[in-house]
Each structure stands twice: as C-alpha cells, then as structure tokens.
Structure 1
Amino acid sequence: MADPTLQTVPNGSSTIDPSSHAQSSASSFKSTSSQLAPTETPASSSQATQATTVAEETEEWQAPKTGALTTPITRPMKASKPKDPAALTPEQETKYATVLAAVSQWSSLPSTTLKGAASAPVQDHERMWLTRECLLRYLRATKWQTPAALKRLQSTLSWRREYGADTFTADYISPENETGKQLVLGYDNECRPCLYLSPAKQNTKMSDRQIHHLCYMLDRTIDMLPPGQESACLLISFKGSGNSHVPTVAQARSVLNILQNHSPERLGKALISDLPWYVTTFFKLISPFIDPVTRDKMRFNEPQRNYIPPVQLWKTHGGDLEFEYKHDDYWPFLTGECDKRRRENRARWEKGGKMIAQVIKDAGGEADLDAVSGENGEVKSDADLAAAGVAKLSV
C-alpha cells in the first residue's frame, strides 16, 4: 500500500478540460489532482466507453501538421478494427450465467487477500467493474471453470482494496512519469491502446510507487479502450538502459501478478525491442513465472509497423509519428481525458440501473438495460434472467 498521506485528493480540485491543453504548456500539474475518489472511479469496458462525437465518426485522426505531438491520441485510425469475439457455445453461456448469478448476490467482500480478512460492503465502482466482458475474461482465463473464475474475481476485488489500486491519484503518480517512462500513445491495428514502457528513462529510486505507477497506467490504458476492444498493446524498449534499469526478480513477479492474476486477458500483444544480453538473461530468469498464453503474445525485435499504423507509431519505435514528451502538456491531458470517460461511463451505468454485467450502448450514450418484464409486469435484470436460466438448465 502506498503512504495514504500521498494519496489524498485535495478538496475542491477541479477536472482539467483536456482540450485546453492540446499543445499548450500549462502550469505544473504536480500540485493539482483531478483523479476521482474510489467510489467515483468505475472501470471501463468495451461496451461502456465515451460516446463518440459525429466529428470523430467522420474524420480520420491526423498528426499535427507543424511541430511534434505532445498529448495522447484519443482514437484509433479508421482502418484499425478489433476482432469480433468468438460466439459462446451453449455450455459457455450456461457457465457465464452461473458466474453472473453468483456475483450478483455479493453484498460484501474481504478487504484484503489474507485468510479470514474482515469483509466490507461492495461499492458502486466495484459493481460496475463486474461487466459482462470482465466475467468472460475471468472465465476464459480459468478455462471456463466457474468456481475458479469466481474465486479469482473475488481475489482481484480484494487485492484492489488491499493494494489501494483505486486510490492512486494523478498527483501521487506524477513524479514517476516526469520523464515519460510510461506513455499511453496511439492504437494498434486491432484498436488496442498502446502503452510504451521505457526502462532507460527511470527517474526514481526503487520503491512500491514504481509498481503503483504501472498499475495506475494500466488502468488509464483501459480507460482509453475504444468500443469492441478489451486488451492493450505493450511496447517495451530497452534502448539505452543499463543494469541499474532492470527490475529485480521480486519486482518482476509483482508486475506479473498484476498482469496475469488481476488483469487476465488484458494483454493483447507485447512488442519488446532493443534487448541487451543482461535483459535476455533476465527474461530467462522470470520465464518460469510467465503463463504460456502470455508468452505466446510476446514478440521480440520485430518491426512494430507490422502491428501499429505508422502514423500513430512513435518514430523512436520505427513509426512516422513526431512525438515529444512534455509532462505539463501530457499528464493533465491524459488525466482529464480519462476522468471524462469515466464520468460518462458512470452516468450511463447509473442511467441503466446500476446493474452488474449491465450492457451499455456506446453510440449516443444511450443505456440499454437489457431487461424484460416478468409475469406481473416487474422488470427483471440480466442477473435475474441468468439465475432463472441456470435453474432451468440445471433441471
């Protein structure tokens, strides 16, 4: 857990409008935070992203005609398309309904991952995190074993409480990113938001906050997901890094715990480049801890233009995009954009009835309750229907 005194959101802080920081050098962001409080920070899903404006639907994204880009990219290229998800089999539909019916009954959860930990009521942002896509990710990650999926879902929610993942503020994380060592920038050919990791730009001493930084940036990458996409693309370049920039095995295992156990199915591709010999040795050391499915998504020293449109791929990685990291431009823009998307997601979720696994249409921001009327005219939620379906299929 981070020092709670470093995670406090100042009273009266205001959300920064990202449009006002597009290419200007704003006042330092180190003293202001627009991070939402834990009870106001819903996780996003592919069906619960910000409504796309008419202009965004008709206009192609373009890089600045003069000067370098200094802010994140807010949408993928029109030619980029996410793959259609595989249709569920009848057996998989039954297992999904079983998990949905179970999590819909959760009223409290352990506050930590320790055995016998005290429980606390389930919060709204935790209920919203339990999207249809989330439940399906955990089912796929556990090879459709419903007890294992339920156990891991509960474990992740307890871990996020224990770790403080929903309490990390932009102010608290800001010093870690002053050199731009982690960047959400652009989208790959399948509309995955790209998260750049540059170990050579390490600017702080080893601490828990370094891992908190990655957790925070993964959450911001998820905030930037477009409709129809649930995973991210990692670009890790070791160019210019020395022995001091290589994380310890303990740190690597902490990162793998976040990625594999608490962000299952979130990694779509990992493009790793410029590996010196000691990093290759490091990967060999941690290889036994890497899930085979995760290893299959890793690509070493391959042309990244094969995976990312050159116009949105940073020149330092072989693309055509002129990008310059300016912390006072980039950080408030990213924070403001993610805050805005989360507010819009939450508003649609609340309008739809604040239901677990609620389906929310993205276009136009209209919520779809995905509910039907029962015999007496009452509205049945998706969870009610799932439970009824499980009972019917169990007879």
Structure 2
Amino acid sequence: MSSFFRSLSGSGSSTPTTPPPPPLTTSIPTSPTILKPPTRPPPLEGEHLTLYQTVLDHFSPPDGSAYQLEGAEQGKEGLLRSESMWLTEDCLCRYLRAQKWDAETAITRIIATLLWRRETGIADDDGGEGSKEEGGGLLPGPLAEKSFDGDDFVVGWAESGHPLHYQYSARNTSNDPQTNLLASFWQLERVQDLMPAGVEKQILLVNFAGAMSAKLPSVTVIKGYIHVLGAHYPERMEKAIAINVPWMIHSLLKVVLPFMDPVTRAKLSFNEPTPFIPDEQLLLDFGGKLNLDPKTPEYRQNVIELCREKRKAYRERWVKDGSKIGASEWVLKGGDEGEKPVASTPFEVDVDVVEGLP
C-alpha cells in the first residue's frame, strides 16, 4: 500500500535514510488491483426513471425518427455514430444528477456538450474502425503532440478502479491556453477509456513542483478548466489532490473556488496521503514506486495501444447491443461478461510510430 509522505528511518540510527528509486520503466500497468469490484448500478425507479425517460425520448424519439441536433451546422444535424454511442444511459444520468434531476436543463446541457465536442473535434474520437465522418480516428496534429509532452497523462488505478490522471505544470511546453485545455480533456477521454465497468470517475493528481510563475496556470485558465469539466464532463471527478502548491496558486484558488460547485469543491485536497493507491500503480513523486517517463515513445505507444484495445471492444459491444442510444456502460465495458482484468504485467508493444487510435 502507498504511504504518501512516509517517514523513512534506518533501524538503530537517528539519520533518515532514503532507499534508491526503482529503475526507470517504459511499461505501464495494464489493469487495476481492485479490492472491492464495482457492481452494476441499480435500475432507476419512480420519478428518476420518469425523468430519465424524458431525456432519453428527446435524443431517441419513441416514434423511431432520427434525432436532429439543435444548433448544428446545416446539413449535419444528424448524430454521428460516435455521438449515439456516447449517449449512454449512464451519460444521461450523469447530466441529470449534475442538474439535480432537472430534465429540461439536463437536455440543454447535453446539447451544448454535443456541439462542443464537434467544435473541438472530440466527437471524431470514438476509437472505432469507421471513417472520419463516423467517428474514426483521433485529434491530429499539434494537439496530439501536445497530449504526449509529459505534463498531462494517465497511468495506473486506485484500488477502487478509478484511473489516475496526472498533471505537472512545470513540464508544460505550450503558451496557448486553448491548446492546453483541449489536450487535458483529450487525456480525460483516455482516462474514460481505462475506467473498468462500474467506475465513472477519475482521480486527478497535480504536482506544482518546479513550476515558475510563467508556467503556472492563470485565473482564466483555471476557471476555463473548471467550466469545461463541470459543463461537459459532469460527475467525472472522484478526487483531486495537489502537492507542492505555491502561494500564487493558493491565491488563485481563493478567487476561483467561490465559483465552483460545492460538491466539486469538497473533492479538492492538498498534500493528502494516498493509501488507497497501490505503490506499483502510483508515481514516485506521490509516494509510490512507479518510475515512469511519460515523454518516451514507448509510453505513448503503450497507452495508445491499451486504449485502442479497450475502445474497440467497447464499440463492438455497443454494436452487438443494437447500436442504440441509452445503452448501459456496464454492458459496454464488459461488466456482464464477468470481464477480468488482464494479468498485471507490464504492457509492451513494438516500437512503431503510432499517431493515434483507429
């Protein structure tokens, strides 16, 4: 188990000793060590079921007609396959919970997210084998490169199965706030790929060590991140832990926190121990034993290949389930198959150039 900020002392000596770090690895953990496996969410009942049905009927009309996206570019009002697959039962429920089960507001927010995903290109990102128009492929060019510069990445899981999403301000190589934001949410899409059946949220781990004032995010960037997270990724945060927080960030947070939803604000903590994350899944900086350089081509290829496999299986299950809006993520993630995590061995692939998921 991880014992973050553990006290190290040599037996019979008053001088603390620090053991040498484990060797640098280019492999990544491929499965969580879940102590209590998640179970399928219970079925909705009563008023919640009625409200969910209202939202579902909006995007999947009971008369069988095709839904037309309000506000979409003329001639492109129909949903992409990736968008229909994104509109799961769990997705609709996340928006309903975030809006205190106000169906009309949830519908408005979902429409806004569908448009945002198109504008940013994330709607083209379903990991399938189809054409670009059907949602095959990933974001190309500078954003894909930015997503692997080592400042924002995903690796490992907590014992609860929640994937670990790391951010390092000192490693940021871009001065474009929009690129930084989109790259971070591109990574959050990868985090979602790695969520086991029954898990809907991430654990965000932020290290500000070594970040000079020029590298620290501005109030505008922090507010923008919080806005996108709340508006387009509701109910996706289990916990956010920051370490080595400079006084400037503390000052910024005093400005930003009042604008944050109280439930989300309660999930933020600073320099908190992480005994709920196994050592082998947690990076050294946070007290674990995983010594990984996320800037290497090997890491990039390993995480892309792992996500590709999971996304392909997800899409195949969706097609098998009828390619319908309102599918269960428990089913799409393999929960009904009793899917067991692959063996906890390092994941290696041949070092070929991989530009993105299919």
Cross-structure match for 1:294: 264
Change in 2 beyond 3 A, CA 1:104/1:299: same
1:313 aligned to which of 267, 282, 299:
282
Deviation string, structure 1 residues 111-131 (Cα, Å, up to 9, x no partner): 55xxx9886211111011011
Cross-structure match for 2:354: none
Question: Is 1:210 matched up with 2:180?
Answer: yes
Separation in 1 of the partners of 2:40 and 2:259?
30
Say whether the 8 Å CA contact 2:68–2:78 is kept in structure 1.
Answer: yes
Question: Is 1:90 matched up with 2:46?
Answer: yes
Between the aligned residues of both structures, percent identity stands at 32
Counterpart amino acid of residue 206 in structure 1: D
Instruction: Return the offset for 1:327.
Output: 2.0
Instruction: Return the offset for 1:321.
Output: 2.2
Counterpart amino acid of residue 199 in structure 2: Q
2:158 aligned to which of 188, 192, 197:
188
Question: Is 1:76 matched up with 2:43?
Answer: no
SS in 1 for 2:199: coil
1:109 aligned to which of 49, 55, 69:
69
2:296 aligned to which of 327, 331, 335:
327
SS in 2 for 1:196: strand
Instruction: Return the offset for 1:80.
Output: 5.2
Say whether the 8 Å CA contact 1:256–1:290 is kept in structure 2.
Answer: yes
TM-score (norm 1): 0.69
Cross-structure match for 2:143: 173
Question: Is 1:347 matched up with 2:316?
Answer: yes
SS in 2 for 1:101: helix
Separation in 2 of the partners of 1:363 and 1:91?
26
Say whether the 8 Å CA contact 2:71–2:115 is kept in structure 1.
Answer: yes
SS in 2 for 1:243: coil
Q: Which runs of 5+ in 1 are unaligned?
A: 1-65, 367-395
Cross-structure match for 1:129: 86
Instruction: Return the offset for 1:170.
Output: 5.6
SS in 2 for 1:102: helix
Counterpart amino acid of residue 298 in structure 1: L
Q: Where does 1:1-395 land on structure 2 (aligned, <5 Å)?
A: 67-79=23-35, 81-82=37-38, 85=41, 88-105=44-61, 107-110=67-70, 120-167=77-124, 169=139, 171-304=141-274, 306-359=275-328, 360=331, 362=334
Say whether the 8 Å CA contact 2:147–2:187 is kept in structure 1.
Answer: no
Separation in 2 of the partners of 1:78 and 1:288?
35
Separation in 1 of the partners of 2:250 and 2:335?
45
Counterpart amino acid of residue 136 in structure 1: C
Say whether the 8 Å CA contact 1:81–1:189 is kept in structure 2.
Answer: no
Change in 2 beyond 3 A, CA 1:363/1:252: closer
Counterpart amino acid of residue 341 in structure 1: K
Separation in 2 of the partners of 1:208 and 1:343?
29
Counterpart amino acid of residue 120 in structure 1: E
Aligned-CA RMSD value = 2.4
SS in 1 for 2:77: strand
Greater CA deviation, 251-260 or 171-180?
171-180
Counterpart amino acid of residue 151 in structure 1: T
Counterpart amino acid of residue 82 in structure 2: H
Deviation string, structure 1 residues 279-302 (Cα, Å, up to 9, x no partner): 100111211221111101111111
Greater CA deviation, 135-144 or 201-210?
201-210
Say whether the 8 Å CA contact 1:111–1:118 is kept in structure 2.
Answer: no
Say whether the 8 Å CA contact 1:186–1:193 is kept in structure 2.
Answer: yes
Cross-structure match for 1:36: none
SS in 1 for 2:290: coil
SS in 1 for 2:326: coil
Instruction: Return the offset for 1:349.
Output: 1.1
Separation in 1 of the partners of 2:186 and 2:222?
16
Counterpart amino acid of residue 272 in structure 1: A
Cross-structure match for 1:17: none
Deviation string, structure 1 residues 293-340 (Cα, Å, up to 9, x no partner): 110111111112x23122211111111223233421111221222122
Say whether the 8 Å CA contact 1:111–1:161 is kept in structure 2.
Answer: no
